[in-house]
Structure 1
Amino acid sequence: MSDNNLKTPLKTLVLACLAAIATNVQAEHGNIELEQLEVTAQHIAPATLGIEAEKREIQQTPGAVSFIDMESVTEGQVSSLEDAFRYVPGVWAPSTSGNDSVFFTSRGSNLDAAGYDMNGIKLLQDGLPVTAADGNNHNHIIDPLSAQYAVFAHGANAMKYGASTLGGAVNFITRTAHNTSPLSLSLSGGSHGERLTRLTASQVFNGYGDGLVTIENKEWDGYRDHNKQTRSSIYANGGIRLSDTVSTRFYVTHRHDDQELPSSLSRAEVRDDPEQANASAKRGAGHFQKDVDIKRVANKTTWDIDENRRFEFGVSFEEQELHHPIVYSPFFSLLIDNTVRNAGTMARYQHKVGNHDWLMGFNYGETRVDGGNYSHFSGDKTEQSSKTENYADTLELFLMDRWQFADDWTLIAGAQAVKAEREVKSTNLATSAVTEADDDYNSINPRLGLIYQLSADTSVYSSLSRLFEAPTTYQLDDGTDTLDAMDGEVFELGTRGHKALGVNSHWGWDVSAYYAKLDNEILSVEDPAMPGQFITSNADDTIHAGIDALLTADIALTDDSAHRLTPMVSLSWNRFRFDDDDALNDNTLPGAPKFVMKGEMLYRHKNGFYFGPTVDYVSERYADFVNSYKVDSYTLFGLKSGWSNKNFRVFGEVRNLFERDYIASHSVRAVAAETDAILSPGAPLSAYVGIEYKL
C-alpha cells in the first residue's frame, strides 16, 4: 500500500488556533484526581518520568491526555479496568458481566461485534507494549491496582508512545519499592460473592537496588448464573542502579484466570429474568468459559545521560495459553484452544536543545498464534476441526519536536512511520484444505500542533494529525476480501486550565473537541446464521467527532479548609456515523452511546474522611448498522465513603442504589431482530467494603 501525505495545509491549522485564542477561554491540564498525591518514599529511581514531570509533559501535548491517579481510583471498589477508566472522558468501558471481561472504546475505536479482538487502544506498562503486535487486546488486561498512575493519550495524541491506533494508548506506570510502603495488605469485597485479597512486600536495598512482590486472589460468584471467576496472580519487579545515571528494572507477571461466561440474552429473556444465563452457555451444554494462563517477563533500562538527554530501552516476552469454549448448538460448536507468544522491544531518546525538545523512538512487536478450533461438549474438547497458524509484526518509528518559538507559543511537529505484516493460515483437518491470507501495511503519518499559554495556568491548543490502523489477524481471517488499513485525518481543538475560587478554593477543566474523517474503517458484524463467526470488511467513509470534558473543583467550606467539597464530572458527547454510504447513508455507528456523564460530589474532612453521591448517565445507543434496534438509556446513583490515615484506608461503596435494570453492553448485528440474544444486563444493587493496612 502506498504512503499518504497530510491533506490539509498548515494555513488551516494556524487559522483555527487563532480562532481558539480569540475565544479567550481558560484552561488546565485536567488531572483525574481528587486531591494532590504526596510521595513520601525515598527518591524515585529514574525508570519513569515521575508524576510531576508526567503532568508537565501532558501540558505540552496539543490534544486530550488524561492523568489517572490510582490513589483516587482506590477510594472505591476497583474490580476491573472499568473502574480505572471511570472518569476518563471519551472512553466507554463497560464490563460485560461484572468480571474482568471489559469492552472498551476510545473516540469510536472497536465499534463492531468482534469483542474477541478488543483492538483500537494500545496498552503499555512503563512504556513497554502489552498489546499484541497486531493491535489485539484479547486477554491483555493490565491490573490497575499494580499501577501508581496511568496516562491515557487519546487518539493521535498517543504518537508520543509511537502508537498507531484510532483510540490512542494508555501507559500504566508500575508501583515500585521506591513509592510503596514496605508491607501492605488489602481486603475488599461484597455483593455477588466478590472477594479480593492482595499482599504486597517491598524493600529498597541501600539505594542501589529494590524489589516488590504482590500476590493477589480474586473470587467472584457473579450477579448472573454461570458467571463465576477465579483469578490468582503474582506481580513482581526489581530495580538495579548500575551507576549514578543508569538503572534497569525487571518485571515478572504470572496470572491464572478462569471465567465462566453467561453469554447474551434477548429482550424477552432480560425482561423475564436478567440474572439468567443463556441456555447454551450453561454447564451440561456449552459451558462457556475463558480460561487464560499468562506468563510475562520484561526489562527496561534507563540512562539519564545529563539534564537534557535521556535514553530508554526495553524488551518483553509473553506466553499465553487460552481455553475458550464460546459457541454451542446441536449442529455447531466452537472451542478455541491456542498458545499466543508475544515478543516486543522499544526505545526512546529525548534531547532538549535550546527551545527544542526532541523525542524519537520505536516500538517493534511480533505475535505468533498456534492452536486450533475444536468441537466440544460442556467445555470439553472433542474433535479438532481446524489448525491455526497466525503471525503478525508491527514496527512503529516516531519523531517529534516541541519547539517553544516564542514566550507563550509552542509548536509540536512530528511524524510516524508504520510497517506492519499480517499472515493468517487455517487448515481444515477434515479436507486438508488450507485457507491463507496475508498482506503488508505501510504508512507515513504526520502531526502538527500549536499550544498557546494564555497565562501561567491557562492554555489553548490545536492539532492536525493523520490516523492509521492496520487490521488484526482476527479481522483479516474473518474478512470477506483482502482488508485495507484504516486511515484518515483528525483535527482537534481544546483548552485546559485551572482558576482560583476565592482564597482556598479552585476549579479546573480539560475540554477537547475533535473531528476525524476516516477511509476504510474496519467493521465486523456477527453472522446471524453462525453465532460466534464474524464477517469483516472496510467501510468507505465514516466520521468520528466528539467533545470530551473533565471538570473538577476543590471548594473550601471553612477558612481553614478543614471541610471541603470536591465535585468532579466527566462528559463525553460523540457523533460516530457513516458519511453518505451507498447502503447506510449517514447512519450512526452502533456500539457506543451518544452521550455519557459520570460524576461525584464528595465532602472531605481534613482527618481523611470523605462521603458523597455518585451518578452515571448513559444515553441510548444502537445495536445494529441499520439503526433499527435501540438499547435504552439509563441513570444510576450510588454512594461512596471512606477514611484514611498514614497506615489505614477503609471504604464503602453502594452502586445502583435504586436497583435500576439496564443493559451494560451488547453485541452488534447488521440488522438486529427483537429475538436476537445480544444483550448483557448490568449489575443490580451492589455494596462493597474494603480495608487496607500499610506498614
Structure 2
Amino acid sequence: MFCGLGAALCLATGAASAQQAATAAAAEVLVGATVIVKGQALDEADRARARLDQVAGTVSVVNNADVERGRAANAEDVLAYQPGVFAAATSGNGANKISIRGSGLNAFYQGYSLGIKYLYDGLPITGPGGTQEDLLTLNGLDYTEVLNGANAFSYAALSLGGAINFVTHTGRSAPGTAIGVEAGSYGYRKYALSTGGVSADNHTDYYLAYFYNERDGFQRQTPNSGNEYVANLGHRFSDRLETRLTVRHRNEELRNGSTITLAQLAADPRQSNATTSARKKTGTTLVTSKTTLTLDDRAKLELGLAYNDYPLDNGWRYSTTPQDWRSTDGSMSLRYLRTGDTLFGKPSDTTIAFSDTRLLKGDVTAYDQNLATATRTTERQYTVYTGSRDTVLSFANELQLSEGLALSTGLSFIEVDRDAHIDRTILTTTEKFPRAVRYNDHAVAPRVGLRYQATPDLLVFANISRSVDPPVTWQMGSTGVPYIRPLKPQRATTGEIGLRAGSEAHEGTLSVYRSWISDELLSTVVRQASAGVDALIANANASKTIHQGIEAALTSKLWKNADDDRLSYRQAYTFSDFYYRGDARYGRNQLPSLPRHVYQGELLYQQAGGFYAGVNTRAMSGYYVDYANSLKAPSAVIWAAKFGYEAPGRKWKAYLDFRNLGDRHYASAASTVDNARGLDSASFYPGDGFSVYSGVVYRF
C-alpha cells in the first residue's frame, strides 16, 4: 500500500530496516572493504548511512551508483531527493545554486556557493573565500553525505546550512577498469576512464580516473568544457596505522548566459541578453592526506592535511573589466575519538576536534580590456585577502542515558580572521566605507541533542544549536567598488525535532526546524549584467530574520514478486518559510530567491535481470525575486523518465534519460534585486528544455 508524504507518520507502523542496520552497527565485522551486519554485506555507503543514523538530526547519504542510473553531470543530479536541499543547475555542469535551509540564500552569481561547508573525504574545500564551483562536478564519487545544519558538527561545520561531504572511490569500492561514454542534447558529451585495485597482501589500494566534459549550452553562445584527473592511494601499514592520499586536478572553461525576463522566458528561453561571466580555471589542484592511528581498542587519532589551489580568470571574454583571482588554501584537521568510557556511570563516547583553514595566498586584480582584441590594458584595482582564516576547536560527547535514550552535547570555540584591503585602485567613490578591513572575531557555538529509540522501528530526535557564518573575503569587497564593507558574521540559533522510521515496505525521515538569525548575510544585484559589463552585487547584514521549514523523505517498496522484480517510489518534500522579523523597510516580507515548496518523486521498476525503468517529477512553487515582494518566479512542474540495463556482475550498463518531457519553459533559479516594483526584469535563469541523454559503461 502506498504511503505518501501526506501520511508520513505511517512510517512508525512497521518493523525497522534502516534503524536495525544502525543498531547492528555495533556488531560489525570488518572483512576487506565490506561490513557484515547480521549476515548481510554492507558497502561503504551503507556503513556511512548506519553511522549517520546515530545523529540526532536530519542527515542523508546519496549512493552514487543510484544516481548513475541516469545522467550524473552536476550537483542537481546528485543532490536530488534530499530533504531540505535545493540544488538547481543553470549552465549544465558549470553553475549550480545549492542551498540547505536557506543557507547562502541569494549569494549566487555562477561561480561560488556559500553557507555550506563542502568537503572531499572529510577534508574541506571551503575556505575563507567560500567555495568555487569547479570541484562540484562530483566526478569519481562513491557516495555523498548531506548533514543539514548543526548536524554537521562532527566536521567542524558551523554554517547555517551544514555540510556536504563527497567521498571519493577507492580501489576497494571501484576495482577493475571502466570506460564510460555519455552524450545528449545541447552538445552534451562526457568521457570517463578509471582503474582501481588492491594489492595482493590487501594492504594497498589505488583508484585513478580521468574525466572530460563538454556542452554547447542550453542558452545560445554558452559552451563549457573541462577535464579532471583523480588519484586516490591508500595504504595500511598495520592494524593500527593507515593513510590515504587523494589528488584532484581540474581545468575548465565556461561562458554563461545572462538572466532573462519572464517575457523572454515564455517566448524563447534559449535567448541571452549578453554572454557574461566567462570563466576560465587554468588548473584547480586539491591534495588531501588523512592518516589514522589507532592508539588502543578504545581510542584513535586522525590527522588531515589539505592544499587547495584554485585560480580563476573571470570575464576573460565579453567583459570590459576582467579579473584575475589567485587563491590558495591550506587546511589542517586533528580529531581524537574515544569510545567505551563511562561518565556518571553511563556509557560515554568523546570526540575532540581541531580544524584550521587559512588563505595562504589570496588576491584579485581587475583590468580594463579591449573587447575587439581581448587584450588587457590598464590595471583598475588590486585587492588582497592573504592571511584570512577560520579556526575551530570543538568538544563533543555522546552519553547513553538509558538503553534507548542518548544525549549528544558539543561545544565549539571559533576564531575568525578577515584581512581585506585594497592596495591599488583608480576608482573613486562618495561612499564612506574604508579601503581596508582587518578584524579578529571569536564565538562560541554549543549544541545539545537527544536521540530516543522509542521502538525498534522508530527513532525520535531533537536538538538545539548555534551556528556562525563569517563573511567570505570577496563579500566584503573585490573589484567593482573601491571600498571594503565591514560585514559582521551571521549568527543563528536553531531548534529541530523529528523522527526516522522504517519497515520492510517504507523508510523515511520527517523533521521540523526553526532558526532565529541575526545579521544574515544577504546579497542583491545592483546592476544587471549587459554586453561587456559584469553584474554588480552588493552584500550586507540584514536585520533579524527567521528561517523555518519542514524536511521529509520517504522511500516505499510498493511491490515485489518471487523473481525479485520490484516497484519502488521515493519522494522528498521541503517547505521553506524565510522572512524578516520586522524590518524597518521590509516589515515581515518573505526573503526572496528560493521556492517555499519543492517536491520530488520517482516511481522506479527494477527487474532482477538488470533492466529498469522510471518516471520522476519535480514541482516548485513560485517565489519572490525581490525583497519588496513585488515580482515572482513562476511555479513549475517538470517531468522526466529513464530506462536502463545493468548486466549481472556489473560487467556493463547503459541508460537513456529523458528530461523535461513537456518542454516546459521555467526558471531554474533567479538572481535577487532590491525592488522590482512589480515590473518584469531580467532576473531569471532558464531551465533546460526537453532533452535526451544516453550513456554506456563497460567494466573490464
- Give the alignment's TM-score, normalised by structure 1: 0.89
Which one-letter code corresponds to 1:419 in the other structure? E
Instruction: Give the match for residue 163 of structure 1.
Output: 157
Return the offset for 1:242. Answer: 1.8
Deviation per CA, 1:398-423: give whole Å up to 9, x if none.
Answer: 11111111011001111111101011
Query: Do the aligned residues in 1 keep the contact of 2:15 with 2:456 (CA within 8 Å)?
Result: no
Instruction: Give the match for residue 604 of structure 2.
Output: 602
Asked if residue 340 in structure 1 is aligned to residue 327 in structure 2, the reply is yes
Which one-letter code corresponds to 1:150 in the other structure? T
Instruction: Give the match for residue 175 of structure 2.
Output: 181
How do 1:379-418 and structure 2 match up within 5 A? 380-391=375-386, 392-418=388-414
Query: Do the aligned residues in 1 keep the contact of 2:383 with 2:424 (CA within 8 Å)?
Result: no
How do 1:135-284 and structure 2 match up within 5 A? 136-139=130-133, 141-206=135-200, 207-279=202-274, 281=275
Query: Do the aligned residues in 1 keep the contact of 2:260 with 2:684 (CA within 8 Å)?
Result: yes
Instruction: Give the match for residue 425 of structure 1.
Output: 421
Asked if residue 297 in structure 1 is aligned to residue 287 in structure 2, the reply is yes
How do 1:30-49 and structure 2 match up within 5 A? 43-44=32-33
> Aligned pair in 2 of structure 1 residues 480, 430: CA closer, same or farther (>3 Å)?
closer
CA distance in 2, matches of 1:430, 1:491: 48
How do 1:330-479 and structure 2 match up within 5 A? 333-352=320-339, 353-354=341-342, 355-367=347-359, 368-378=361-371, 380-391=375-386, 392-430=388-426, 435-477=435-477
Asked if residue 128 in structure 1 is aligned to residue 117 in structure 2, the reply is no
1:551 to 551, 554, 560: 554
1:690 to 684, 691, 695: 695
Instruction: Give the match for residue 519 of structure 1.
Output: 518
Report the secondary structure of 1:158's partner residue.
helix
> Aligned pair in 2 of structure 1 residues 588, 29: CA closer, same or farther (>3 Å)?
farther
Which one-letter code corresponds to 1:462 in the other structure? A
Query: Do the aligned residues in 1 keep the contact of 2:134 with 2:250 (CA within 8 Å)?
Result: no
Query: Do the aligned residues in 2 keep the contact of 1:29 with 1:510 (CA within 8 Å)?
Result: no
Aligned residues: 650
- Give the stretch that moved more between structures: 262-271 or 362-371: 262-271
CA distance in 2, matches of 1:149, 1:512: 23
Deviation per CA, 1:474-528: give whole Å up to 9, x if none.
Answer: 122278752221112111000001023xxxxx11111111011111111121213
1:311 to 289, 295, 301: 301
CA distance in 1, matches of 2:410, 2:626: 38
Query: Do the aligned residues in 2 keep the contact of 1:476 with 1:483 (CA within 8 Å)?
Result: yes
CA distance in 1, matches of 2:410, 2:634: 42
Asked if residue 662 in structure 1 is aligned to residue 649 in structure 2, the reply is no
Return the offset for 1:260. Answer: 1.1
Instruction: Give the match for residue 570 of structure 1.
Output: 572
Report the secondary structure of 1:71's partner residue.
helix
Report the secondary structure of 1:589's partner residue.
coil
Which one-letter code corresponds to 2:323 in the other structure? I
Query: Do the aligned residues in 2 keep the contact of 1:29 with 1:58 (CA within 8 Å)?
Result: no
* Structure 1 segments of 4+ aligned residues over 6 angstroms from their partners: 23-31, 326-329, 431-434
Instruction: Give the match for residue 67 of structure 1.
Output: 61
> Aligned pair in 2 of structure 1 residues 232, 328: CA closer, same or farther (>3 Å)?
closer
CA distance in 2, matches of 1:431, 1:99: 35
Query: Do the aligned residues in 2 keep the contact of 1:92 with 1:106 (CA within 8 Å)?
Result: yes
- Give the stretch that moved more between structures: 479-488 or 572-581: 479-488
CA distance in 1, matches of 2:82, 2:108: 23
Return the offset for 1:614. Answer: 0.6
1:679 to 680, 684, 694: 684
CA distance in 2, matches of 1:113, 1:150: 23
How do 1:502-513 and structure 2 match up within 5 A? 506-513=505-512
Report the secondary structure of 1:527's partner residue.
strand
Report the secondary structure of 1:268's partner residue.
helix
Report the secondary structure of 2:73's partner residue.
coil
Report the secondary structure of 2:445's partner residue.
strand
- Give the stretch that moved more between structures: 404-413 or 530-539: 530-539
> Aligned pair in 2 of structure 1 residues 557, 431: CA closer, same or farther (>3 Å)?
closer
Query: Do the aligned residues in 1 keep the contact of 2:171 with 2:197 (CA within 8 Å)?
Result: yes
Percent identity (aligned): 26
Which one-letter code corresponds to 2:222 in the other structure? N
Deviation per CA, 1:333-359: give whole Å up to 9, x if none.
Answer: 321112111111111121112411112
RMSD over aligned Cα atoms: 2.6
CA distance in 2, matches of 1:272, 1:613: 28
> Aligned pair in 2 of structure 1 residues 445, 524: CA closer, same or farther (>3 Å)?
same
Instruction: Give the match for residue 493 of structure 2.
Output: 489
Structure 1: 5+ residue stretches without partners: 1-20, 32-38, 501-505
Which one-letter code corresponds to 1:166 in the other structure? L
CA distance in 1, matches of 2:172, 2:241: 16
Query: Do the aligned residues in 2 keep the contact of 1:480 with 1:535 (CA within 8 Å)?
Result: no
Report the secondary structure of 2:91's partner residue.
coil
Return the offset for 1:290. Answer: 4.1
Deviation per CA, 1:113-155: give whole Å up to 9, x if none.
Answer: 4435421011111111111234x11235344231111111001
Instruction: Give the match for residue 15 of structure 1.
Output: none
CA distance in 2, matches of 1:30, 1:252: 33
Deviation per CA, 1:378-436: give whole Å up to 9, x if none.
Answer: 45433220112113201011111111110110011111111010111123443799821
Report the secondary structure of 2:310's partner residue.
strand
- Give the stretch that moved more between structures: 301-310 or 446-455: 301-310
Which one-letter code corresponds to 2:466 in the other structure? R
Query: Do the aligned residues in 2 keep the contact of 1:30 with 1:510 (CA within 8 Å)?
Result: no
Which one-letter code corresponds to 1:294 in the other structure? T
Report the secondary structure of 1:133's partner residue.
coil
CA distance in 1, matches of 2:16, 2:417: 41
CA distance in 2, matches of 1:473, 1:511: 36
Report the secondary structure of 1:103's partner residue.
strand
> Aligned pair in 2 of structure 1 residues 328, 182: CA closer, same or farther (>3 Å)?
closer
Report the secondary structure of 2:437's partner residue.
strand
Report the secondary structure of 2:233's partner residue.
strand
Report the secondary structure of 2:385's partner residue.
strand
Report the secondary structure of 2:609's partner residue.
coil
Instruction: Give the match for residue 3 of structure 2.
Output: none
CA distance in 2, matches of 1:480, 1:624: 24
Deviation per CA, 1:443-487: give whole Å up to 9, x if none.
Answer: 111111111101223100001111211111112227875222111
Deviation per CA, 1:521-571: give whole Å up to 9, x if none.
Answer: 11121213886222222112100000011100123332x152211100010
Instruction: Give the match for residue 22 of structure 2.
Output: none
CA distance in 2, matches of 1:287, 1:43: 47
Query: Do the aligned residues in 2 keep the contact of 1:42 with 1:179 (CA within 8 Å)?
Result: no
Return the offset for 1:323. Answer: 0.8
Return the offset for 1:50. Answer: 4.1
Return the offset for 1:377. Answer: 3.7
Which one-letter code corresponds to 2:475 in the other structure? Q
Query: Do the aligned residues in 2 keep the contact of 1:131 with 1:140 (CA within 8 Å)?
Result: no
Instruction: Give the match for residue 4 of structure 2.
Output: none
- Give the stretch that moved more between structures: 155-164 or 94-103: 94-103
Which one-letter code corresponds to 1:356 in the other structure? S
